[in-house]
Copies of this chain bind each other. A is one copy, B any other.
Amino acid sequence: VNEIKLPFKTIEWKNGKLTLIDQRLLPGRVQYVDYGNYRDVIVAVKNLTVRGAPAIGVAAAYAMVLASAELIMTGNADYMAKMEAASREIGAARPTAVNLRWAVDRIRKIIGDNSASTPRKIHELIEAEAIEIETEDKQLCLAMGSHGAELIDGNDGIMTHCNAGALATAGIGTALGVIYTAAFSDKKIKVYSTETRPLDQGRRLTTWELAASGLDVTLLCDNMAASLMSSGAIDKVIVGADRIAANGDTANKIGTYNIAIIADRFGIPFYVAAPYSTIDLNTADGTEIPIEFRDTNEIADVTGYAGIRGNISIYAPAFDVTPNSLITGYITDKGVIKSADIKELFAA
């Protein structure tokens, strides 16, 4: 495997400042923004400046560090209660991705375990923990890439959905991490990225990051999956995950379920690539995963339609839940778990 060097950084912590690539400006412009205030990071999470479950988790951890820094700087005596309040604010920034609360809870645990220490000492410990979360995320991506790449053959056509890439993590990505690892070990692969309506993360982010990194990528509209699969161009599907229930049902960007059903019909293997922090043992199955519905204006503003007498509504879920039965396997940092084995493995 050659070293995987990508020409951009999604998230960086340096001198007490968080730097994020502004994903809303891609693919037209590469711009980095510095954050010194945790409230601004919450806004960045909400408005999708940073998105992707693992990246949100890392950003949330650093947001906790920024909240702590602010309290220490202002000499606030109410450190524990204020940090608890900040953790609630940060944890509520988006509802579906489990990594967000998982990361916040790791920081909270450090605070709780060291409640006898001074705020300054706690601050040092949580900054170290946030850096550890980021480092782990990078390592998890490399591990997933390494396990997943073994599933990829030379000349494979691989379809992916949304952006489960380096832009969604602190490392090389989950689904795209597998693709990068295969491509940087000189497997000639063709990647097919859906547009991913309504926010077009596939068109804006996945095609950009793959092509910026030198890969060969083809864009398609979400509704072209059956046409493309019927043509024989697709050998595998690899997507990311926002939450995996204990039974393997997987919440991921809206449209994933469509693709899984279509891949199943054509007998094309369908893989979910995600780190262990995505698996939520507190969620028994997909029916328990809360689905975020977003602003319908992200799909269309129907107020300007001429001469309307009836009623126009808009269905705007941000995620859907693909049942375990449609998933061939889970590419995790611990290895590839076959569909049928997941319950057993995570019960242990």
Contacts and interface: CB of A to CB of B under 8 A. Distances in A.
A299 interface: yes
B300 A212 contact: no
Interface string A204-220: 00011011111111111
Given A220-B315, A222-B223, A222-B255, 5 more contacts: A194-B223, A210-B310, A218-B314, A223-B258, A261-B261
Given A197-B223, A320-B224, A217 B313 contact: yes
Given A227-B317, A311-B216, A221 B299 contact: yes
A285 to B, nearest CB: 13
Q: Copy number in this complex?
A: 2
A198 interface: yes
A219 B310 contact: no
Interface string A126-156: 0000000000000000000000000000000
Contact of A255 (B214, B223, B299, B312): B223
A265 B323 CA distance: 13
A75 interface: no
Interface of A: 7-8, 26-30, 192, 194-198, 203, 207-208, 210-228, 230, 254-255, 257-262, 264-265, 299-300, 302, 304-315, 317, 320-321
B196 A261 contact: no
A219 B306 contact: no
Nearest to A216: B311
A226 B312 contact: no
A305 B219 CA distance: 13
Contact of A226 (B29, B30, B258): B258
24 contacts: A7-B307, A7-B309, A30-B306, A198-B221, A203-B299, A203-B300, A208-B306, A211-B308, A211-B310, A212-B307, A212-B309, A216-B313, A219-B299, A219-B312, A220-B315, A221-B254, A221-B299, A222-B255, A223-B259, A227-B257, A227-B315, A230-B257, A230-B321, A265-B265
